[in-house]
């Protein structure tokens, strides 16, 4: 018996409701997995690249580091063969249509992601169906490759030059030259050994005389200290008094020289009066002649009579200096 207020549903209607609910759940789940919104605002945008570097569908799209969508599809554009990337943004945030869709490396090991570089140029807000300008950020591996390419060329060139150098050396170094070079190296080795031996002997000598060297250095330090102390102990007043006396003596000598130059005093007259000088010189010459004559002819000045014998008359010497002198 049917109760009042309840509607009896047939089995077919119940089955249809279950099927519709399953289809709806399937659609909602698929949309969730694709990060698309059935009821919210979404924008389908495009970007064109020459090379997507391994970008995959389903990759998240970020804006300022925040995930705002996913990549829906990647397909070729004919006839150039460029790649058209289709992606959906699930955000109400509005930005300029001149913003850039940039591919970037998600890790050092590789993998590409898509990010929106917002352009604050006041352009028209982006709308669904717009194609954004595209760019590719240089990754770490690309930078390393860019740096390694010139280095690889330099290494290759260095290897080529080294090979040429080795060939040239092989051509230059004949058997005799190699023998001479070997002998030179042996002599250099012997010299190094001798130098090592001398160094060891010198080290042993220093070690054996370390105490004597230390004593010598200490004595030198003491001598230096004593000299410094003696220099500091010199009486400054005594030095000043000696310098003052020296200055006084020099002043007296200067005054005496000035008097002589002015013709004052005996020395001044001798220095300035030529007549007095000539007279004094003549008197000195006569005194010299007198002494010579007394020495040579004492009989002229001394008269001695022995036993009443008469003194012989004085005879003038032939070489009398007083007579023969021209002056």
Condensed to tens digits (0 to 9), the pLDDT of residues 202-221 reads 888 888 888 888 888 888 88
Q: pLDDT-based confidence at 130, cuts 50/70/90?
A: very high
In the prediction, which pLDDT does 208 show? 81
Q: pLDDT-based confidence at 2, cuts 50/70/90?
A: very low
Of all residues in the chain, what percent carry a pLDDT higher than 90?
Answer: 17
Q: Is 49 in contact with 135 (CB distance < 8 Å)?
A: no
- B/e letters for 43-76, b = 16+ CB within 10 Å, e = fewer, are bbbbbebeebeebeeebbbbbeeeebbbbbebee
Dist CA 160 CA 149 (whole Å): 17
In the prediction, which pLDDT does 25 show? 80
Dist CA 197 CA 4 (whole Å): 125
Instruction: Give the strand pairing for 66-77 and 60-63.
Output: antiparallel
In the prediction, which pLDDT does 151 show? 76
Q: pLDDT-based confidence at 46, cuts 50/70/90?
A: very high
Mean of per-residue pLDDT scores for the chain: 78
Q: Is 56 in contact with 71 (CB distance < 8 Å)?
A: yes
Dist CA 251 CA 262 (whole Å): 17
Say which range, 45-49, 218-222, 314-318, has the weakest mean pLDDT: 314-318
Cα 326 from chain centre: 90
Q: Is 87 in contact with 45 (CB distance < 8 Å)?
A: yes
Count Cβ atoms within 10 A of the Cβ of residue 85 and give its class: 0-12 exposed, 13-18 middle, 19 or more buried.
buried
Structure tokens at 180: 């001479």
Instruction: Give the strand pairing for 60-63 and 112-117.
Output: parallel
Residue 73 pLDDT > 90:
yes
Q: How far apart are the first and last CA of the chain?
A: 195
In the prediction, which pLDDT does 132 show? 92
Mean pLDDT computed over 84-113: 88
In the prediction, which pLDDT does 197 show? 84
pTM of this prediction exceeds 0.85: no
Residue 224 pLDDT > 70:
yes
In the prediction, which pLDDT does 92 show? 86
Residue 175 pLDDT > 80:
no
Neighbouring CB atoms inside 10 A of 34's CB total 13
Residues near 18 by Cβ (< 8 Å), separated by ≥ 6? none
């Amino acid at each position: 018996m049917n109760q009042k207020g309840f509607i009896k549903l047939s089995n077919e209607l119940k089955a249809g409701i279950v099927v519709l609910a399953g289809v709806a759940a399937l659609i909602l789940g698929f949309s969730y997995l694709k990060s698309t919104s059935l009821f919210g605002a979404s924008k389908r945008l495009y970007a064109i690249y020459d090379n997507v570097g391994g970008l995959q569908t389903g990759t998240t799209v970020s804006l300022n580091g925040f995930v705002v969508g996913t990549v829906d599809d990647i397909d070729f554009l004919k006839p150039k063969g460029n790649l058209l990337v289709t992606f959906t943004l699930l955000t109400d945030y509005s930005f300029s249509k001149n913003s850039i869709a940039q591919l970037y490396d998600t890790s050092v090991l590789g993998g590409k992601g898509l990010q929106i570089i917002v352009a604050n140029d006041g352009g028209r807000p982006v709308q669904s169906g717009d194609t954004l300008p595209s760019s590719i950020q240089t990754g770490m591996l690309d930078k390393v490759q860019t740096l390694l390419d010139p280095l690889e060329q330099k290494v290759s060139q260095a290897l080529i030059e080294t090979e040429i150098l080795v060939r040239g050396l092989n051509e230059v170094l004949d058997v005799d030259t190699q023998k001479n070079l070997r002998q030179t190296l042996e002599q250099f080795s012997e010299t190094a050994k001798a130098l090592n031996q001398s160094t060891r002997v010198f080290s042993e000598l220093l070690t054996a005389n370390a105490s004597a060297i230390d004593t010598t250095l200490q004595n030198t330090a003491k001598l230096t200290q004593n000299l410094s102390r003696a220099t500091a102990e010199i009486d400054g007043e005594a030095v000043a008094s000696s310098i003052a006396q020296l200055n006084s003596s020099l002043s007296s000598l200067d005054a005496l020289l000035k008097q002589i130059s002015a013709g004052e005093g005996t020395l001044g007259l001798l220095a300035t009066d030529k007549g007095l000088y000539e007279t004094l010189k003549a008197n000195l010459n006569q005194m010299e002649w007198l002494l010579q004559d007394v020495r040579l002819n004492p009989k002229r000045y001394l008269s001695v009579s022995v036993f009443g014998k008469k003194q012989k008359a004085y005879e003038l010497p032939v070489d009398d200096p007083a007579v023969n002198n021209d002056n």
